[in-house]
Amino acid sequence: MTTKSKVSTRLLEWENSCKHPVLNLTPDRVATLCSRNSATGLSRLLSKLFLTPSKPTITTKNLQTYHNGGFWVPTGELPAIEHAIHRHLWQRYGQGLIYCHGCDPSGKKRHREWFRVPVCDLPWLLTTLDRFCQGLIR
């Protein structure tokens, strides 16, 4: 989440400070990642034998608060919603403190806003973020 007018501006700030590439996990990228990881080899071939439709793909049409590369809430609500999302993700995935040598060559700078989310959970994550931003989860 960001108070910047463009998500890409905030991502560029992270890249410049951390000196690491940052990838925005848009619904399209999540769909691509999930389709690559969902089935490999023989299981992919066998999945084509079934007539039932595959899992629905998350798209920007499914996400009410997703616009221009990110989720949006009124500025005054941003800190509370961001904090609630962090608590929810820490509870689910644990708190992954990342020591960043890009921000601080001694490695003493820690990032708390990173989570070890399995690729298969990314569609759930996008839907959950949208629900938080709509105020449906607190």
Which residues have CB under 8 Å from 64's CB, separation 6+? 130, 133, 134
Closest CA to 131 of 58, 63, 29, 31: 63
Q: Give the position of tokens 């995935």.
A: 93
pTM for this prediction: 0.79
Q: Determine the pLDDT at residue 54.
A: 54
Q: Determine the pLDDT at residue 41.
A: 59
> What are the tens digits of pLDDT across the range 74-106?
889 999 999 999 999 999 998 878 888 888 888
